[in-house]
Structure formats: structure tokens, C-alpha cells
Chains A and B, each alone.
Chain A
Amino acid sequence: MAEAALRLEQAGYRRSALVEWLTTVDHKKIGILYYWTSIVYLLLAGFLALLMRIQLAQPDMNFLGPKTYNEVMTMHGTMMIFAVAMPLNAAFFNIAVPLMIGARDVAFPRLNAFSYWSFLFGSLLMWSSFLFGHAPDAGWFGYANLSSSRLYSAGPGLDFWDLGLQVLGISSIAGALNFFVTIVNMRAPGMSLMRMPVYVWMVLVTAVLILLAFPSLTVGLFMIMFDRYFDTNFFNPLHGGDPVIWQHLFWIFGHPEVYILVLPPMGIISEILPTFSRKPLFGAPFVIFAGIAIAFLSFFVWAHHMFTVGLGPVPNALFAASTMMIGIPTGVKVFNWLATMWGGSIDFKAPMKFASAAVWLLMMGGVTGVMHATVPLDYQQQDSYFIVAHFHYIIFGVIVMALLGATYYWFPKMYGRLLDERLGTVHFWLTFLAMNLTFFPMHFVGLDGMPRRYFTYSAETGWGTWNLVITIGAFILGLSQLVLLVNVVKTMRQPANAPADPWDGRTLEWTIPSPPPAYNFAVIPTVRGRDAYWIEKYGDGHHTVTDTTQRRHVSVNRDNPGHGLPAGVHLPKPSWWPMIVSAGLTAMAAGMIMHGTETLGPLGFPVVGIGAFVVFFGLLGWHFEPAIEHAEHEQAHVHH
């Protein structure tokens, strides 16, 4: 805080804390904004899941109507993917990546803020659909022509979905560009690609996936928008349009998307396991190449979501083969992680519990993935609860678990405090047991023929028993998350006295204080190997010491206390423009939604126009505003 105040003073600004958060371009703060926004959304979207679970607890329940159920289901899926899993990942990109590569910030700090605000506004736009009584209801992949024709989805629900996703997509692409450039261009001296921490690698790969996958979604969403607003024929069978085109566009995006979600958590696992096992990641180059292989393959498997569409036996067989191939690099990762633990000295602190459970759960969700890839089996499993089981095992089991692990792991770097270990243990066990209780029986009802997206079912189907179990599990799971909140509240009341390196870490973020000063590194470190910090502490592979007591005391990269910014450090200036441009963009989307309604229709295009105007002048303002303090000003201060 002291540095921040100093920095502001130096820049000639005096701003309140609120203004500081609104205008921040500091990756650490943006990371925290991302983090809490997505955690709130996790609770909200989880709350929607609980509503669904009440409705499905027993046959013929009458809690949510069919339409409401579909809205709740669609918003649960859409928000969990786009407003929880993706931004929660982005939170840790921001919190950890610049620190791990020894950088003072990301390449484009204001663009980073723009990504956050677009995410916030885009997701709020989508959530607001509930307020207008028309939430999207065509499922998270909004299959055309149910989604693309006002005949089958009247009202603005799908417009909220379509345009909200466009805004979120822009946010993701901007973020991916930023992190791609940051990682390629801002590594500390000596950090060659093969010395980069595996997490950073996975973020890099993820950025590439986002950049190449999202445009396909953007195009598809535009087509749905044109069909809905201008009566085009993209998905209109009456003029020869083929709704299956949307499925291709969506899954060309959608399949890489699931790896966009899971690769960074895999990177997190690859950081946590070595740290708590006191061993380097086993076969790190293999793990990295496996990540790249998964990313590459993921572009050529999309039709495995479409096995029942009738593409023909040859395409089905080819896509099945390419899909199964993904199991091989994923297996490499799993086995390397197990081998990392093997022979280690494993300290099962909370992050480690979450990470090792995630490894096991990845296997659990992965093997059912291979079953879906077996086309004939998928004829039975597609769109059944077996699929729901598969992806919750991975999405909750790997992504959410690993990100919860990351929360415990990097909390010192966020707030300078360590979360309570005992509560962490309780949180882990409740979550782990409840998630299995919730999602495992879904395999049973799935094999017993229960289709997904059913708002109810009759007693004669015999699905009632397991559904009750699932519902009970879901409630326990939901309540377990409150333990985390309690833990955070409790911890935040304690002084921020976490050591710089609480876990005996291996990478650069542990060389600087917790929380790091505004400029991260007073002196940019020089990197001599993948486990850059570990090597400094305990020597490289050949001269390793055998006991932590023999640790070499490399001085923690402390800042020069009380003297403000270290000489020569330029910090980016806070800025309103990113938020203004995002607001303009969101206004354009909102105007488009209004255009589709009866009551606000005439206002629609004017609002779009105003939004475009704001975007244009916002960009101009952005352009003219100096990104950092003027050099002379800076100089004067430093020579003070």
C-alpha cells in the first residue's frame, strides 16, 4: 500500500482507493479483480446448479417450470465456462505469470484492464437477462436453428447470450494477445523457452488456443445474430441453410475451449506437485510437449461432439481416432506427475491435496472421455448424464480443484497472508468427497438412459434414487465452498506477514516479498534453469545439497525500503480509458439487444451508435494518454 501511495503521489495523482481499483493497470490488482469476480460468479452459477438439482431431486417435481429450467441450465453452463472457468484462469495468469517470468508487468497493461472490464461488463450484460425475464435457454452451445430463429426462441434471451458472448470473446482475445506477447517478449534474462516454468508454458499454449479458436465462435455468433435480426438464411432450412454448420463453427471453437480451460490448471498442477514433493517435475520437456500436442490435436477433434449428427462412418472413425490420440499426451502428463511424486518428500499442504486429487480426477474424467470417443458407445452416451458426469469430473475435478489449489498456493502473493491450513484441509475433504458423491452417480443415470437437459422425468424411468443422491451431494458441495469464504475472511483479519517463500518454492515469484511491491522486482533476476529459485537455493543438478538446512541464503529480492521506485523503473499510469472503451463496447451489444425487443426497439441503433462513438473516442483518448509518466518528470524524481 505504501508503495502504491508513493507511486500515485509521484505521478501527480491523489485518488481514492475506489478510483485506484477502477483505473488500475497493475496486473496484480487486475488479477485480484478477476479472482473475486469469478468466485462470486462461481457461487451464483453454483446456486443455479442447486436450483436445477432441487428440480431433479425426485421425479415429476414442480419447482422450476420447463422454460425456467432451461434458462437456469443454460446460464449455469454458459456462466460456468465463460464467467468462471476462463476468468478464474485469467486471474492466475495475472497473479502469477509476470512474477514467474521476472517481469514488472504485462506487455500491455491498459489492454489488460480492458480485458477485465470487458469480462465484467459482458458477463453482467448476460446476467442481467434474468432481470428482464428473458434468460437464454438454448443450452450453452445454443444449437441452431433453435437459437438462431425467433420462431423457436422468441424474446431477447438468445440475444443476450449471443451479444454477451461476443463481448466476452473480445475480452478473451485481448487477454490472450497480451499474455502471448508478455510471455514471448518479457522474460527475464536467461529464461529461454525451455527454462520457462511449465505453468507459463501452458498459459502460452492456452493463449494460442484462444487466439485460434475464438474467431470461429465469433463468426458463428455473428451468423446467429444476422439470422435473428436480419432474417438471413445461414441456419434456415427453408432456404437450404444447414443448422449443422453452426455445430461445426461452435465445436471448432468449443473443443479447443475445453483445453483452454484445462491446460492452465494442468500447468498449476505441474508447479504445485514439484514444490510440495521437493523434486523437479519429472520429464518436464515431455510435459511441455504433451501440452503442445494436446493443443495441436484439439483443433482436429471437434466432430466428436457430433457423432450422432450423421456425418458418416468415415468422418466419425477419423475423428474418433484423433480424439483418442489426445489420451496419449494426457496420459504422459498424468504419469509424469505420478512419477514426480514418486520418491519425493511430500508435504500434503492444502494446495498439494487439491493438486494430487486433481490428477486422480483427471484420470476419472479422462477415461469416460475415451468412452465417448468410441463412436458406438457415444451413440448411447451422447446427450445423456454420462456426458454430464464426464465433463464435471474434468471441469470440477481438475479445473476447479486445481484453481482452488492455486488459491491456497498463491494467496501469499495476492494478499501477503497464508490461508488457514486446518480450514483448508476441511475444505478439501468436503469438496473432494462431495464432488464424487455429486458427479459419480451421474454415470449410473446416464447409462440408465437419462438424457441431459431434461427438466423432469417420470417415476417409471427409475432415475429417482440416484438423482436424489446427486442432489444431496450437490448441496454438500455447495456448502463446502463456504468453508473457503470463511477461511478467507478469517485470514484477512490477520496481519499480512507471510514470508516471501512460504512453501520453499522453485520459481521466481517466491524471490520477492509477499505481496510483491508495485514494481515486482527491484532488480530483474537472471535465470539459470527451469527451477530458477531452487537452483539458487540448493544448487543445480550436479552439486545439489541433500538437506534443506544447507540452503544457500540468496537474498530475497527486496525493494529499497522507503525510497519509492527503484531507479529506472517506469510504471504504467492508471487509466480510465480501458473501462470507457469496454463500456462503449458493451453499450453497442446492449443496443443490439434492445433493437431486438418490441418495447425498446427504436432505441437500439441509437444506443449502438453511442457505444461506437464512445469506443472510437475512448480509443483516441487511450492513444493520446501517455502510457507511463513522462521521462523528464521521472528523471527529476529519481535524482531527488
Chain B
Amino acid sequence: MHGPAPAHAQPGPATWIRVLVLLTIATVLEVLTYAFESTLGALTAPILILFAIAKFVLVVAYYMHLKFDNRILTGIFAWGMLIAISIFAAMAALYHIYGQPLLTP
């Protein structure tokens, strides 16, 4: 869709600042979520994860230009992430769902 776009067709500092503002807001909200952990209860973890994903995507899409760059690059990075995350999830299941308790030393 974007084709082999050269690195030059990118937005400028205005966008970078906007992204920075969003990143800062997300970070503040993250820390607030942490601070209100007791009120949020079981919601804390998903909220934190959501904010982290938002920040992650902002940096990758804008600062790292993936949004404007060749789709192949998105594919490569996404596959790396996908495999890493799936293995991570499988491990979490192995240790926290199916794992028998380890002996306490």
C-alpha cells in the first residue's frame, strides 16, 4: 500500500512533539494506575498492559517510522514480536496454570 517509500516522506517535529505529549500522558496515567492499585483491584494489570502497548505502538509507528515505511518491515518486526509473545504466553501458562508447586527450599 505504502510501497517502497523512501525515508523522506515523513512528518516533522510537530508530529514528534504530539507523540511525545501522548507518551508523557500515558506514562503519568500508568503511574497513577499503579498508585490506585488497591481501588482498581484486578483491573490494574490489564490497564497497565494497555498503556504499555499504547506507548510501544506510538514509538514504533511514529518514531521508528513503521507507519510510513515499507510494510515488509512491519511484517518482520511483528513476526518477531508474535513468536516472542506466544512463547511468553505458553511459558506463563506452563508455570502459572499447569505448573505444580515447586518445593520450598
A300 within 8 A of partner (CB) = yes
Q: Does A299 contact B (CB under 8 A)?
A: yes
Summarize A's interface: helix, strand, loop or mixed: helix
User: Which residues of chain A come closer than 8 Å to B13, judged between CB atoms?
Assistant: none
List of B residues within 8 angstroms of A208 by Cβ: 79
| Complex contact B86–A312 (CB within 8 A) | no
Q: Does B14 contact A (CB under 8 A)?
A: no
A interface footprint on B81-93 (CB within 8 Å = 1, 0 otherwise): 0011011001101
**A184: interface (CB < 8 Å):** yes
Residues of chain B in range 46-105 having any CB-CB distance to chain A below 8 Å: 72, 79-80, 83-84, 86-87, 90-91, 93-94, 98-100, 102-105
A315 interface neighbour in B84, B98, B102, B104, Cβ under 8 Å? B98
Indicate whether A242 sits within 8 Å of B102 (C-beta atoms), given known contacts A184-B72, A212-B80, A300-B86.
Answer: yes
In this assembly, does A310 line the interface, its C-beta being within 8 Å of a C-beta of chain B?
Answer: yes
Q: Chain B's nearest CB lies how many Å from the CB of A589? A: 26
The residue that B87 contacts in the complex, of A211, A242, A252, A311, with Cβ under 8 A, is A252
Which chain B positions have C-beta within 8 A of A184? 72
Contact with A238, one of B93, B98, B105 (Cβ below 8 angstroms): B105
Q: What are the residues of chain B within 8 A of A242 when measuring CB–CB?
A: 102
Q: Given A212-B80, A311-B94 in contact, is the A240-B105 Cβ separation under 8 Å?
A: yes
One of A212, A240, A300, A312 near B104 (C-beta < 8 A):
A240
A212–B105 CA distance with the chains assembled, in angstroms: 35
Q: Which residues of B contact A238 (CB under 8 A)?
A: 105
- Residues of chain A within 8 A (CB-CB) of B79 are 208
Known: A237-B105, A239-B105. Is A312-B99 also a contact (CB below 8 A)? yes
Q: In the assembled complex, which residues on chain B have CB atoms less than 8 Å from the CB atom of A248?
A: 91, 94
B102 touches A240 (CB 8 A): yes
Size of A's binding interface in residues, CB under 8 A = 19
| Complex Cα–Cα for A315 and B105 (A) | 26
In angstroms, Cα B101 to Cα A240, docked, is 11
B86 surroundings in chain A (CB, below 8 A): 299-300
CA distance A212 to B87 in the complex (A): 11
Of the residues B80, B100, B103, contact of A312 by C-beta under 8 Å = B100
Contact check, A300 vs B100: say whether CB atoms are below 8 A apart. no
Q: A240–B93 Cα gap in the complex (Å)?
A: 19
B105 in contact with A299 (CB, 8 Å): no
A237 to B104, CA, bound (A): 9
> Closest Cβ of chain A: how far from B85's Cβ, in Å?
11
What is the bound-complex CA distance between A312 and B79, given in angstroms?
Answer: 29
CB-CB under 8 A from B84, the residues of chain A are: 212
Task: Provide the residues of chain B in CB contact with A237, threshold 8 Å.
Answer: 103, 105
Q: Which residue of A lies closest to B91 (CB)?
A: A248
A1 at the interface (CB under 8 A from B): no
Is B102 touching A312 in the complex (CB atoms < 8 A)? no
Could you give, for residues 290-329 of chain A, a 1 whenever the CB lies within 8 Å of some chain B CB and a 0 otherwise? 0000000001100100000011101100000000000000
- Nearest chain-A residue to B72 (Cβ)? A184
The closest CB in chain B to the CB of A211 belongs to B80
Given contacts A238-B105, A240-B102, A314-B98, 6 further A-B contacts (CB under 8 A): A184-B72, A239-B105, A240-B104, A240-B105, A299-B86, A311-B94
The 7 A-B pairs at the shortest CB distance, nearest first, are namely A312-B98, A315-B98, A212-B83, A238-B105, A299-B83, A314-B98, A240-B105
Sample of 28 A–B contacts (CB below 8 Å)? A184-B72, A208-B79, A211-B80, A212-B83, A237-B103, A237-B105, A238-B105, A239-B105, A240-B105, A242-B102, A248-B91, A248-B94, A252-B87, A299-B83, A299-B86, A299-B87, A300-B86, A300-B90, A303-B94, A310-B100, A311-B94, A311-B98, A311-B99, A312-B98, A312-B100, A314-B98, A315-B94, A315-B98
